[in-house]
Amino acid sequence: MLFEVWAPHAHEVALLLDDATRTMAPDPARPGWWRSAAEAADGARYGFRLDGGPVRPDPRARRLPDGPGDLAAVVDHTTHRWEHPWAGRGLAGAVLYELHVGTFTDAGTLDAAAERLPLLAELGVSHVELMPLSPFPGRHGWGYDGVAPWAVHEPYGGPAALRRFVDAAHGAGLGVVLDVVHNHLGPSGNFLSEFGPYFTDRTRTPWGEAVNLDGPGSDEVRAYFAGSALALLREYRLDGLRLDAVHALSDTRARHFLAELSASVDALAQATGRPLFLIAESDLNDPRTTAPRSAHGLGLHAQWNDDFHHCLHTALTGEAQGYYADFARAPLTALAGVCARGFFHDGGHSSFRDRNHGAPLSRELPAARLVGYAQTHDQVGNRALGDRLASGVDRSLLFCAAALVLCGPFTPMLFMGEEWGAQTPWQYFTDHPDPELASAVREGRRREFAAHGWEPDEVPDPQDPATRERSVLRWPRRPQDDALWQWCRALIALRGAHLPPELTLREVSATADEARRLLVVSSGPLIVAVNLSDTTTTAPLPPGRCELLATPPGAAVAAPGPAGVALPARSVAVLRLVGG
């Protein structure tokens, strides 16, 4: 096989393979690249030595069996026999399910997570969205401090386990989306700067050095991250990628890195005949994120919509601190506006940022290009105690939230356990072997929440193994028996039956009555009417005949009349417009 590495500033490069050292030669066709052909079996350990220095793992390693910083291992992807043919499953009509492998089960492995896939298929979700799998220090962590974007965290089972997981998911009819991080790499075990100009000091991210996307040598850096994304999609038959915090990708070049990446992914989809997609996490509220490249957009296929979450969260909880302040003034009115327009901050003033923020979306934008959710790993885990909605609001409100997410206009996403009202917290945890880094993370977390009034000893220690243990889902014996689980399953089925997958924002309307705590959202023919007040009240409906499709168990909702639909306190009804 051919071993290659980009090391543009090195004078000599050696390959260490199974304890034997071989001199590598410059590649005459590619400046800065070195290569060496050698026989190597699956699992063979190897690394590179630059100018006589220490041996470092391959930056493009597919496997790091001993963790970040140690030797890489050869991975032969051709040895896996795929059991389930898969034509792909696109984003249109999708229902996403976000999970963290390390806390989804007690075992915290991909193989253990795969055992739960039939249950997710029974629920009706279409795609499992895995939080990052790149190798990171220690055994347990969120995964956003990964080091090797081409590899798979060994304690989760490594590359072979990911192939088995994807194969099992496809066998259950589920697509698989993987969360990847291109805006920074973790500090521990990260030796990329020894190989080349992967990072820049012209800008920084909140998490460390920014990647070099637009300076000298950036052509190869861009190819490195784009290549890792394409390799994951190709070698593991993934259906899509979620791109973490794309607002932290600093790129001043005329063609943005994300536009190049989306073009490459679209080309791969055409070549493989499988629909592939990219979902961005961005706090910019920038319409260019999902606008077509032909219209000078980035061409990404969807983006997370935190505005939807913030409106919904404040409406359910009454919280008004921090970034919730703008939404809490009139949360139902804000939520109605978000459902119809896509963004709350679409050019107006943001008090949290103390400036104007965002820009309006086109009303012709397919609503599915925005991802809506009531909970995510971020919105739960970045709370001081990692508390979920189920631990802080009346259970009836969980049924209301589920209806707005699963039968609302946007591509819905559930966070693991949300479908049965899990109350286990999901806290921030790390397992850094480096004591200085561990201390810095611990103290940084305490300082962050001290600014919000928390005492230091109230904030869970990320390095304490008990913090991860508290965050592991405590599964009921049969979650299917839970009324909330059954409600979510029914809502997903109603969405599939009645909501057009190509629905545009122009086809969405919403009205709110802040005083009576009423909200009615019409997504094409599908209507969600919610009463968050403590008394029965009547919600007005769009003109035409409306058919009642579903209400939560125990909610005594009669068929709608001329005045609308009468909703008991803290209840919701899902209806269908059958005549105009």
The residues annotated as belonging to the active site are 244, 281
Q: Which residue from 221, 244, 404, 400 is spatially nearest to 308, judged by alpha carbons? A: 404
Q: How far apart (Å, rounded) are the C-alpha atoms in residues 286 and 346?
A: 8
User: What are the structure tokens assigned to 457, written together?
Assistant: 């000893």
Q: Decide: 57 and 179 in contact? Cβ < 8 Å.
A: no
**140: amino acid identity, one letter:** H
Q: Decide: 129 and 96 in contact? Cβ < 8 Å.
A: yes
Cα 60 off chain centre by:
23
Q: Which residues, including other chains, have CB under 8 Å from residue 451's CB and lie 6 or more apart?
A: none
Q: Which residues, including other chains, have CB under 8 Å from residue 412's CB and lie 6 or more apart?
A: 95, 96, 371, 372, 373, 405, 406, 495
- How far is residue 107 from each of residues 57, 103, 115, 433, 440, measured CA to CA in Å? 28, 8, 11, 21, 28
Q: How far apart (Å, rounded) are the C-alpha atoms in residues 175 and 165?
A: 11
> Nearest 5°: CA angle at 281, between 159 and 509?
130
Name the strand (E) or helix (H) holding 468: helix 465-471
Q: Which residue from 307, 340, 306 is spatially nearest to 522, judged by alpha carbons? A: 340
Residue 564 is given by DSSP the state: B
Instruction: Decide the pairing of beta strands 349-350 and 355-356.
Output: antiparallel
Residue 541 is given by DSSP the state: -
User: What are the structure tokens assigned to 433, written together?
Assistant: 């072997």
Q: How far apart (Å, rounded) are the C-alpha atoms in residues 80 and 182?
A: 27
Residue 543 three-state SS = coil
Q: How far apart (Å, rounded) are the C-alpha atoms in residues 579 and 343?
A: 30
Q: Decide: 314 and 352 in contact? Cβ < 8 Å.
A: no
User: What are the structure tokens assigned to 327, written together?
Assistant: 């939404």
Give exposure, 81-113, as e/b (b: 16+ Cβ within 10 Å).
eeeeebebbbbeebbbbbbbbbbbbeebbbbbb
Instruction: Decide the pairing of beta strands 96-99 and 127-130.
Output: parallel
Q: How far apart (Å, rounded) are the C-alpha atoms in residues 340 and 361?
A: 10
Residue 480 three-state SS = helix
User: What are the structure tokens assigned to 3, written together?
Assistant: 């071993």
Residue 326 three-state SS = helix
Residue 79 three-state SS = helix
User: What are the structure tokens assigned to 181, written together?
Assistant: 């991080």
